Every structure is written in structure tokens, then in C-alpha cells.
Structure 1
């Protein structure tokens, strides 16, 4: 099996978290593929995150990564499911897709073409695990690094139509890449989306990259070789600069809680507190 690099291995962490969530009696979703995707490495990564998040004999000071991921997955599951109810929408892009199994576990209309974008090695590992299960949707894999200059060309070659409405999900991506790459990727999304298309992503704020209370979790990711590099305190402005009129929701707010967020939600005007945003919006006309 091909070897994944540091950032690519975070897909195994996410799979391990989804597998653990799927075993809970109060689970927010069920992912029957997650345990196989996680393999032996994913649970080891999750154990390391748990050890700093829930330290023995001390109160938790870091955000609960398992609860955050459960809420994020459920939130974007519902977002995608609602978006494709529009009969005009025939294209969905998940970039990067990692070990995501939404192609198999969400109720897609048969008209949908689902583009899974990620580095070739990630898609290869995913295929090795999956084999050839039945899929009700037209699933098309696009093996390319989103930081490469030709990633939009590869998407076009896979049959994507930039003139038609589309739905995009950029999940677990933006905080791992430098700010110039963030803007380049969002510029590419803008170039590839027709007005009226939908775009969603998750992003942290600037304080989440530097607060001492985040140090334990940040050190884990940095130690793996995939430090968090980008955050913004104004996610709506970030996406507006790239042609998306967006709303940002924090876990724990009514639209993104599901009874699972364990911490207070600070008001937006409060500074020097860690935040995560689920950003979603409408691609406007140029």
C-alpha cells in the first residue's frame, strides 16, 4: 500500500474519529466504511489526540476534537443533502475527499456527478481499502494536489462543467495550508463555479493558531509534520473576496450543535478566544 505523508495521514485520523462516532448509541451519523479506512494507524493518531485533549487527572482545556468532528460531519452531511434537492444541481465537488465515504452513505439523487478530489496517493489507498463497492452516484476521482497549478484542468478533464450549478465542500483543508495557497484555491473555486453555486468549508480563527491553551493540540499536529498554518477572524470577508456571499456558524450555535458541543460559544465580538467556523454561502455574479 502506498505511504501517506503527514497531511494525508490526517485523513486516517478523521476516519478513526468517524468510526468511533459510528459505534456510539447516540451517534450523529453512521459511517460503515470508517473503521476500514482508519486501519491500524488512525486509532493510534486518535489516541495521541485524546491524550492531550482529555489529560488524565486534569480538566480539559482543549476543544473536544471527537465532538467537533462529529458535529462537522453531521453539519456538512445535512448541507450537501439539502443542496442536491435542487433539481438544477447535478455536480458536487468534495476537495479534498480524504477517506470520506459520503459517495456511498448519503442519499444522492441519481443525476449527481460527484467529484472526489485529492492527491493520487490518497485515492489509491482509498481504492485499495474500498475494492469495488456498489455506488448509486456517478463517482469520479480526480487525482491532483489542490495546490498544483493545473488542478482545475484536471477537474475539467474529469467531466466537470463550470457553466452549470455546483456544490463544493472544502473540509479539513484550509488551516493546513499557507495563506497564499488558501487564496489561490479559493480563486480556483471562483473560476470553476457558476453564479448560484454553493460553497462550504471549515476554518479556524487566528487566535486558534497562537493561544497557549491550544498549544497541546497544535504541538501534536506540528509533531506529525502538518502544523496549522492559516486562520481568519473574518471568514465571511474571506469568502466574499472570492465571490461567495457566506454565513459562518460556530459549533455549539443552534444550527451546529446537535446536543454535542461541550463548551460555551463565545460571541463574535470577544477577542483572543479559539474558534472554528463552518462557512457556507452562495457564489455571486462577478
Structure 2
């Protein structure tokens, strides 16, 4: 079934392979017992390409450590979602896109949560096939739609989402794969179906991460797969503020986003021309 996934969709297999590798570590930051089956055979092959680019045998590493980054990102957003779900008034969680994520299956959710996974039909079909013998630990609904389609919000409502109630959204592994105009359109549409007091989280690179010469090795891997990184922002707070969100942008390695695993210095925000990744998290005003 992997042949039915387009290049961007296949990156979800890389994420699953990274989560499977993290789960095998004795010092793992989380445990994902379903990651290996979701990664299949293709996921480890993609991960091997990333490792070859990131950890060259003949010179020091100059690229960010993808395994450490992904482990921190997953744990950071795990904690964000679990914290949000503890609020009895927070009854809806939306993952858009959901990719090969297994949080609906590996996390114990409070009984008041309705959990929506939004992604393209091929992705959801692939995941359903791999997890056909596993029962979600939450009231779980899938919405098979392309997030660039004009009617995806209506499809979400048709699946039982109530835009008048608070919700928590996670846009993980999405924004750097879509053009800037699509990012703005995505945030505009998400904001339109989020009640005040709702929560949002996302990850995003800065603009320099798309152009710095020493990032070329990693960027070339993704471009070679047919899914280049297309968008980054040095002002993520302003980007989200434009659509009614009050957010913080935390970098891996900063307090709350380190977990003893980030191996590189974290340059202050005023320093220019350095690569950055942001974990964006906050509220709908």
C-alpha cells in the first residue's frame, strides 16, 4: 500500500520509523508500541537516508539531529495534548494531519474526549490496514480529506466536530511542507472553526533553515523524495497572532523542550542566519 502514498504522505512513514527507534531506546522519552508496524519496510529505509546525511562517517555532524528532534517533538506534543485533555470543558482533539500518529491508541484519554484524525484518504486507509486489530483508547473518528480542499472543515463537522465548543488542535509535521499561501489559508480556516479558549500547537522552521548552506544535506534528502521544505518563519508568534492565536514559540533545547536530549546550543532569538525549529503552542483568543 505504500505505493499509494504520495511523497509528502510517505514522510509519515519516516516519523513512524523514528518513533519506533525511540521506543527501542532504554532512555526513551515515550513508548509507541505501534510505530514499527506503521513504519513498515519503507520507513526504516527513509530513516537510513536521513541518518546517512545527518551523521556522516568522515566529518562532524553539522545538521540537526533528526532522531533527537523527533523524540523531543513527540514528547512535547504528547504532554501538550494530555494536559489539554484534562480540562473537562475540552471535549475535542483534532490532529491535522494525523499521518502515522498512534496517540489515539497508545495514550489513555479521559472519557469526555472526542478525537478526530484528519488526513488524505490514502494515509488513513494505510493506517487502518496496519492497525485493524487495535482498538482506539478514545472515541475516535477519521476524516478522509485533503487539508488543501475547500470543504475540509465541513467534512470535519459532518464527522461530529462542534465548532461552538472548545477544541485542541495539533498541526504536526505540516507547515514546512506547504507553500506560504497555503499556510496562511490553513491557519485562517482552522481559526474559523475554533471556539475562543481552544488550544493549538504546531511545529515550524525558520526561514534560514530553508537556505543555509550547511542545511543542504538534509534539504536535499527531502527534495529528492519529492517533498521539499517550502515555508519557514522567523516570527511564528506574529504569524499565528494574525489569525487570532496567542502563542509562545519554544525551541528544542529550551526549558520544557529539552528532556535531556537536545545536543546542540540554542542561539538566542535575536541572532540571525541560524537554523531554528519552533514548537508553537497557545490559545485561540
TM bucket by the smaller chain? Answer: over 0.9
Please give the TM-score of this superposition, normalised by the length of structure 1: 0.98
Give the 3-state SS of the residue equivalent to 1:31 in structure 2: coil
Contact 1:110 1:136 in 2 (8 A): no
Residue 273 of structure 1 corresponds to 274
2:106–2:137: 8 Å Cα contact kept in structure 1? no
Partner of 1:23: 24
1:72 corresponding residue in structure 2:
73
CA deviation profile, 1:61-98 (whole Å, cap 9, x unmatched)? 00000000000000000000000111001000001000
> Which sections of structure 2, spanning at least 5 residues, go unmatched?
none
Per the alignment, residue 235 of structure 2 pairs with 234
1:106 positional shift: 1.3
Q: What corresponds to 1:217 in structure 2?
A: 218
Matches within 5 A, 1:124-203: 124-203=125-204
Deviations 1:123-151 (A, max 9, x none): 00000100141222110000011111111
**Length, aligned pairs only:** 284
**Counterpart-to-counterpart distance in 1, 2:118 and 2:139:** 14
* Matched position secondary structure for 1:203: strand
CA RMSD of aligned residues (A): 0.7
Contact kept, 8 Å, 2:108 with 2:138, in 1: the verdict is no
Deviation of 1:3 (Å): 1.4
Distance in 1 of aligned mates of 2:253 and 2:227:
27
> SS at 1:116's partner residue?
strand
Q: Is the 8 A contact 1:199 1:280 kept in 2?
A: yes
Match of residue 250 from structure 1: 251
Tell me how far 1:110 sits from its aligned partner: 1.2
SS in 1 for 2:256: helix
Asked if 1 retains the 8 angstrom alpha-carbon contact of 2:100 and 2:127, the reply is: yes
| CA deviation string 1:251-271 (max 9, x = no partner) | 000110000000000000000
| Unpaired runs of at least 5, structure 1 | none
Name the SS for the 2:155 alignment partner: helix
**What residue in structure 1 maps to residue 97 of structure 2?**
96
Q: Distance in 2 between matches of 1:203 and 1:242?
A: 16
| Contact 2:30-2:75 within 8 A present in 1 as well | yes
Q: Secondary structure at the match of 1:83?
A: helix
Aligned to 2:85: 84
